[in-house]
Structure 1
Amino acid sequence: MGGDQKGIEQGTTFVPKFDQQGLLSAVVQDCSTDRILMLAFMDREALDATVSTGVAHFHSRSRARLWKKGESSGNVLNVEEILVDCDQDALILRCRPAGPTCHTGAVSCFYRKLEGGILQPVNS
């Protein structure tokens, strides 16, 4: 899993850098609209499942287990592209959502903005 910093930053070898809890951040973006849909965490198992199936899997911190997005709702995230940041400790999953991403039924989990100390709806 090792590698020098230059190799990590400029090389072609994927060496994901998980944190102390074994997680890395994954931002989910709609590949058609570029809208940010959600933020989640991936462990090695979730990353491997995502890469092998093409469907987004995450590590559920609250349930402490592998979680396939949409496993109960059917609103899966079909992964079109995985972007890796320079330190290989964060990912952007560019996806085609099969329905609303947020458990509230909203298209995106980011459906509010902070304005003057008050949460206001984001216009879609």
Structure 2
Amino acid sequence: MLRDYFIALETHPKDAPLALHDVIEQLAFNEKGLIPVITQDAQSKTVLMFAWMNKESLLATIETQRVTYWSRSREQLWVKGETSGHVQSLVSMAFDCDGDVVLCQVEQQGAACHTGRRSCFYLQVDSEQRKIWVTGDPVSV
């Protein structure tokens, strides 16, 4: 059971690295072969976007250090910035404690969001006023 693998890692010694291939094989890809990815600016720690990877895009990201996603709408690999020039260079990658989410910290060139904003998360909830505020201006390139 995948969950048992990650539970066992809770007490794994810090000075005993694991084989990357072995951990990737235990990740919890969904029934479509996808795993969610949170992408964060490596310096500011701003969450830039959420997307999906399959095993091929995950391995391509590790190999090339250019963040590669799986486009569900186009059903193909999507190298961030390939057409827009808004490249994401991988700084670090981590997996969560359950092995079901990937965190990529990146150096972002230009906008991360297709709207031209630095982050996709620009619709700010104001719980008290029950309103949504649009934040962040489009990035000039």
Alpha-carbon distance in 2 for matches of 1:76, 1:117: 35
* C-alpha deviation, 1:3, in angstroms: 5.8
The two structures, once aligned, show a CA RMSD in angstroms of 1.8
State which structure, 1 or 2, has the greater radius of gyration over its C-alpha atoms: 2
Classify the secondary structure of the residue corresponding to 1:103.
Answer: coil
For residue 6 of structure 2, the aligned residue among 5, 8, 15 is 8
Aligned ranges 1:1-124 → 2 under 5 Å: 5=4, 7-9=5-7, 10=9, 12=18, 13-14=22-23, 15-115=26-126, 116-122=129-135
Report the alpha carbon displacement of residue 4 of structure 1 after superposing the two structures with TM.
6.9
Structure with higher helix content: 2
Deviations 1:3-47 (A, max 9, x none): 671x33305341221011110000000001000000000001110
Tell me if the contact between 2:3 and 2:98 (Cα under 8 Å) persists in the aligned partners: no
Instruction: State the 1:121 CA deviation.
Output: 2.1
Within 2, Cα distance between the matches of 1:34 and 1:121?
20
SS at match of 1:28: strand
Given that residues 118 and 136 in structure 2 are in contact (C-alpha distance below 8 angstroms), is that contact kept between their aligned partners in structure 1?
no
User: Identity, % of aligned pairs?
Assistant: 32
- Any idea what SS the aligned residue of 2:32 has? coil
User: Tell me, which stretches of 5 or more residues in structure 1 are unaligned?
Assistant: none
- Using the size of structure 1 for normalisation, the TM-score is 0.89
TM-score, normalised on structure 2?
Answer: 0.79
> For the residues of structure 2 that align with 1:64 and 1:117, how far apart are their CA atoms?
37
Unaligned runs of 5+ in 2: 13-17
Post-superposition Cα deviations, 1:75-111, rounded to whole Å, max 9, x if no partner, equal 1100110011011110110000011111111000011
Conserved 8 A contact 2:37-2:102: yes
Provide the C-alpha distance between the structure 2 equivalents of 1:106 and 1:25, rounded to a whole number of angstroms: 21
- Kindly indicate which of the two structures has a greater share of residues assigned to strand: 1
Q: CA separation in 1, counterparts of 2:136 and 2:81?
A: 24
Count of aligned pairs between the two proteins: 122
